[in-house]
Structure 1
Amino acid sequence: MDGAAFDYIIVGAGSAGCVLAERLSASGRHRVLVIEAGGSDRRFFVQMPLGYGKLFYDPAVNWLYATEPDPGLAGNRDHWPRGKILGGSSSINAMVWIRGHRSDYDDWEAAAGPDWGWQAARAAYRAIEDNEAGADDWRGTGGPLHISANRRDLHPLVETFLRSAEATGLPRNPDFNGARQDGVGIYQMTIRNARRNSAARAFLRPAMKRPNVSVLTSAQVTRVLFEGRRAVGVEYRRKGVSGQVRALSEVILSAGAIGSPQLLMLSGIGPAAHLKSHGIGVIAEAPNVGRNLNDHQGLNYTWSMKVPTYNDILRPWWGKALVGMKYLLAGTGPLAKSINHAGGFFRTSPDLPRANMQLYFQAFSTLIPRVGERPLLTPDPFSGLSIGLSNCRPTSRGEITLKSADPFAHPRIVANAYSTDQDVAEMLSAVKYLRRIAAQEPIRSLIAEELRPGPQIRSDDDLTADFRARSGTVYHPSCTVRMGRDPATSVLDPDLRLRGVEGLRVCDASAFPTLIGGNTNAPSILVGWIGAERILNDTR
């Protein structure tokens, strides 16, 4: 591979990178190389939907990033898992398929033009999807990505939760990706035939069957190579040996909201003073690289229950054996799903134009931690459930900077969670709403006791201290290499090209102009889909 040349080099086989590989290679006219730092996605706990709990701290598939101590999180360092594997974070995530509110794409259009607006996004999503629920004005069928409607084999407490949330005034919503987002309902999932349907499975694996596609795994790109101000290839390290490959057309970074800004800075693109402080020569001054980091923060409220939950079947050895047999023999049971069967979107104030909070219902609890594992497969030794939430559009902003010029050292991540009064006030209202749901029938009669934060936590000050101490990322970092029409506030132009250089683009969640109100896997795939169109338009 060392010294080879390709039309396109894609750095990172995550959600956007996999889509790029499929679309850029489809005509057969372009040679495409995908370089991924991680390895194969053909692992049992990757393919089994509920197996993602086993991947939460697994360095074989996970970058295992950690933030700096965060005053907004009571001084805690937050754990940020990101996929280091074919499929990227789509291979280790909770598989919830949420596009976001249509106004999110109005925001994108305002920043980056109509190619990123709602009409373009809706058309792209309908082309991407093969939705089990069938086609309509919103959903698509026949596309490369199968989306499970998730209507079967749900835990009985899901309906209890939905009816209790309805009792607070939230409507039942049959499709969060449809005409409206507000309300409660069942989450659609990127699951197909009881297996995780990652971007690698849906897009990259079919592309790998083509003779014009090459994939290099366990190869970490250390810098982009330039001749003058033109990107001409990348340097990488694989099994202790360095190599270089050349790009005849373009280098495309799809290393994610942490990896892409880090690689740009290592390559000489970023805030000049910061790069010089690490002894890195400046190719192009780009002060916004790594800035505008935006992420959703969330936490769970947890109750012990008078009726069985998933704890009762997933905790004992005989229960593990039973659900394992169901999964292996029939592709059914809790192992065939994400733990987030249901959820919803609500507004902390009726004056708001759109929902600003997202709900997650989990018929299990994990208050007792297990070392080295997010204990989805070993929950608490009692009947428990959790209702979680996260903020949709936080106003707090963090940043990614270098700790050193060593490409194998993790960058410095400053999350700045809850660093604005607005974010604190919204979360305070939101956690009170969780208790409103729990106080409604039919769930109220089934609750034995509130365990977290506990009934003694009542005052605004105590509730705020609790969510600061227990909150954390819900794994949606974005916006660190923003695209837009205004060079003063963005790094990329609306075609995802790096300003100030040639032959280099960034196409992943780091390019989001603003954070989507919802899970970010769907919009990351969208960026890959529309991004490929923009790239191909420039080469025709």
Structure 2
Amino acid sequence: MGFGWWKLFGAALVGILFFHGFCGAETAPNFSFMHNATTAPDISYYDYIIVGGGTTGCPLAATLSQNYSVLLLERGGTPYGNPNITNVSAFGRALSDLSPTSPSQRFISEDGVINARARVLGGGSCVNAGFYSRAATDYAREAGWDTRLVNESYQWVERLVAFQPPIQAWQSAVRAGLVQAGVVPYNGFTYDHIYGTKVGGTIFDLEGHRHTAADLLQYANPTGLTVLLHATVHKILFRTKGKSRPLAHGVVFRDASGTKHRAYLKSGPTNEIIVSSGALGSPQLLMLSGVGPAEHLRAHNITVVVDQPLVGQGMSDNPMNAIFVPSPIPVEVSLIQVVGITHFGSYIEAASGENFAGSSATRDFGMFSPKIGQLSTVPPKQRTPEALAKAVEYMNSLEAPAFRGGFILEKVMGPISRGHLELRTRNPNDNPSVTFNYFKDPQDLERCIRGLETIEKIIESKPFSKFRYDYLSLAALLNITANSPINLLPKHANVSRSLDQFCKDTVMTIWHYHGGCQVGRVVDYQYKVLGVDALRVIDGSTFIYSPGTNPQATVMMLGRYMGKRILDERLASDGN
């Protein structure tokens, strides 16, 4: 094969450009209730205060505003008018933006895997790859959800933000390869999570415009909702004097200029503060407010309101491993569209690039690009800024054919391996310390291996034959994926890399981390925080397992679902 072939194709892991050029930014809805936090009064009062205008917070606020006054506090800005968010052509650019005003805030877990958390109205739905798929019916049943209301809530979301993607040649070949590999039956296009192979939904419309959880604010009662942007909540306020349990009654937040504001609940037995700040932000805010492991809080000079040792525990991130398959022919540009849902606990998906023309400066933004921290060519602990910079530099030196091909990936469902989250500082703008313990449980590693074996069957299948070089074995593809561009020649040129070592060395995130405020441990099954009153957490931090193949549909559904449940509870209470 020779040195030149490895140089041309071996580095493609570090940067498929999915699209180039712009489609034009989506125009902002006329949200009269949306303001910069600098315009907020020093003190204000509401029936509900929601901390976090993300994938759950937006549909929750829209629902509660129908009957009550709601304050929605978002630490980031608006997604509207930002082409790096609203256009599929620019996927990844928000993730690669490391500025303080970026809609995405990078963090690195203690495992060494580079990750991101959203910092924008609409949350992760503004910066993700757009795949839309519901949770399994068993998942909803185990969560204790009302299945009728769950279905209605999904449909409420889907009317505004979900679409059927166009399936072209690469994705069609992966789909047929999955079926031939035994991931059956083929279920066609569906939002439902069912075993077999299917085409899922997307939040990108046919014109390539992203639709996010922020769009769900179109359902809001504009007279009942106030949305404040660039509003960072520093603390939840509790009343303890004369109370059998601490009572949440307000929050302290700062605007972009650093000015402090206070928002309080109006007097009333059923008014509440709801935290929807995500798997990192929600346990972090509880701890900063004095709800968490007492010893850890005291170490940060935080007054303990409730000793709750399980806050920050049960952190999980679904490990992802991908194999790059160079193609002898051009392939279409695609993000995740087809998925194989196996019985052994791994999900198989694919994304592709194309043989493009353009300057090297545009080659930074693919789903597996080092520009966004997705660098699997060195083990996690070695993914230093220097390694990332070297990978980006090398990627930009390659000719266009090096990017012709695509990735087939597997994501471990679950996972069984768990970690924890701790405070680093008392500044809510700082990332907490989080450990996910990828593959600590051997069952997770086994599922990764079986997922890679399934990918091998897809690559060797007849439907996929036109997109592969016949002389490239799986061992060669693993070497391509795992060894460039840090070394141009394979590290194990004459030795077959074991699949278990490949799983450990090339693990990346698929941005589906969860836990930290789990149901039955930190919150009850109505999402009320244990040990205090008038405080709930409603978001992905409450999940024991990430729902479906992608959680965003269920996280949006949960906001609508719990909004309706809370309204129904209050209606019943008022009726009595």
Give the TM-score of the pair, scaled to structure 2: 0.76
Distance in 1 (CA, whole Å) between partners of 2:429 and 2:65 is 30
Q: How does 1:485-496 map to 2 (within 5 A)?
A: 490-496=521-527
Instruction: Give the equivalent residue in structure 2 for 1:32.
Output: 70
Equivalent position of 1:97 in the other structure = 132
Q: 1:457 to 1:102 in 2, by over 3 A?
A: farther
Q: Is the 8 A contact 2:248 2:533 kept in 1?
A: yes
Q: Which residue of 2 aligns with 1:125?
A: 154
Q: Is 1:401–1:412's contact at 8 Å kept on the other side of the alignment?
A: yes
Alignment of 1:498-513 (within 5 A): 498-513=529-544
Aligned to 1:419: 440
1:265–1:445: structure 2 CA closer, same or farther, 3 Å change rule?
Answer: same
Match of 1:399 in 2: 420
1:194-205 matches, within 5 Å, as 194=207, 195-201=209-215, 203-205=216-218
How far 1:372 sits from its partner (Å)? 5.6
Q: Name the CA distance, whole Å, in 2 between partners of 1:48 and 1:341.
A: 17
1:347 Cα offset (Å):
2.7
- CA contact under 8 A between 1:36 and 1:215: conserved in structure 2? yes
Q: Deviations over 1:136-170 (max 9, x none)?
A: xxxxxxxxx342111x3x33222222222222222
Contact 2:77 2:103 in 1 (8 A): yes
1:381 aligns with 2:437: no
Q: Which of 410-419 and 398-407 deviates more?
A: 398-407
Query: Which of 61, 71, 85 matches 2:103?
Result: 61
SS in 1 for 2:565: helix
Tell me by how many angstroms 1:91 deviates. 0.8
* One-letter amino acid of the structure 1 residue matched with residue 530 of structure 2: R
CA offsets, 1:343-375, max 9 Å, x none? 221133xxxxxxx11111112286995546879
Could you say what the CA RMSD is over the residues aligned between the two structures, in angstroms?
A: 2.5
Match of 2:5 in 1: none
Change (3 A) 1:215 1:380: farther
**Deviation of 1:523 (Å):** 1.3
Q: What is the CA–CA distance in structure 1 between the aligned matches of 2:528 and 2:54, rounded to whole Å?
A: 19
User: Once the 2 structures are TM-superposed, how far is the Cα of residue 196 of structure 1 from its aligned partner?
Assistant: 0.9
Residue correspondences, number: 467
Judge which range, 412-421 or 44-53, deviates more. 44-53
Q: Is the 8 A contact 1:108 1:117 kept in 2?
A: no
Within the alignment, does 1:453 sit opposite 2:472 as a pair? no
**C-alpha distance 373-250 of structure 1, shift in aligned 2 (>3 A):** same
- Asked if 1:273 is matched to 2:295, the reply is yes
5+ residue gaps, structure 2, are 1-39, 241-245, 355-365, 375-391, 481-491, 572-576
Native 8 Å contact 1:492 1:498 kept in 2: yes
Instruction: Work out the CA distance in 2 between the residues paired with 1:49 and 1:251.
Output: 35
CA contact under 8 A between 1:11 and 1:253: conserved in structure 2? yes
Alignment correspondent of 2:378: none
Q: 2:315 is paired with a residue of what secondary structure?
A: coil
Confirm whether residue 147 of structure 1 aligns to residue 162 of structure 2.
yes
Is 1:306 aligned to 2:335, yes or no?
A: no
Describe the shift of the 1:459–1:520 C-alpha distance in structure 2 as closer, same or farther (beyond 3 A).
farther
Selected match of 2:258 from 234, 240, 243: 240
Query: Counterpart of 2:29?
Result: none
User: What secondary structure sits across from 1:15 in the alignment?
Assistant: coil
d(CA) in 1 for partners of 2:234, 2:494: 50
- TM-score where L is the length of structure 1: 0.81
The secondary structure found in structure 1 opposite 2:416 is coil
The 1-side partners of 2:412 and 2:148 are apart by 25
Q: Per the alignment, in what secondary structure is the counterpart of residue 453 of structure 1?
A: helix
Q: Which secondary structure does the structure 2 equivalent of 1:533 belong to?
A: helix
Question: Does structure 2 retain, via aligned residues, the 8 Å contact 1:457–1:463?
Answer: no
**SS at 2:439 equivalent:** coil
% same residue:
26
Deviations 1:10-52 (A, max 9, x none): 111101100111100123xx11111110001111121112423
Question: In structure 2, do the counterparts of structure 1 residues 159 and 284 end up closer, same or farther at CA, with 3 Å as the change threshold?
Answer: same
Match of 1:185 in 2: 198
Q: Residue by residue, what CA displacement relative to the aligned partner does 1:96-151 show, whole Å, maximum 9, x if unpaired?
A: 11112222223323xxxxxx254553343244433xxxxxxxxxxxxxx342111x
Name which of 22, 39, 48 aligns with 1:8.
48
Q: In the alignment, what sits opposite 2:143?
A: 108
Residue 235 of structure 1 aligns with an amino acid whose one-letter code is V
Please list, as runs of the form range in 1=range in 2, the aligned pairs for 1:149-298 lying within 5 A after superposition: 149-150=164-165, 152=166, 154-170=167-183, 171-178=185-192, 181-192=194-205, 194=207, 195-201=209-215, 203-207=216-220, 210-228=222-240, 229-238=246-255, 239-248=257-266, 249-298=271-320
Change (3 A) 1:439 1:128: same
Q: Deviations over 1:399-442 (max 9, x none)?
A: 11111223232111111111101111111121111111111102
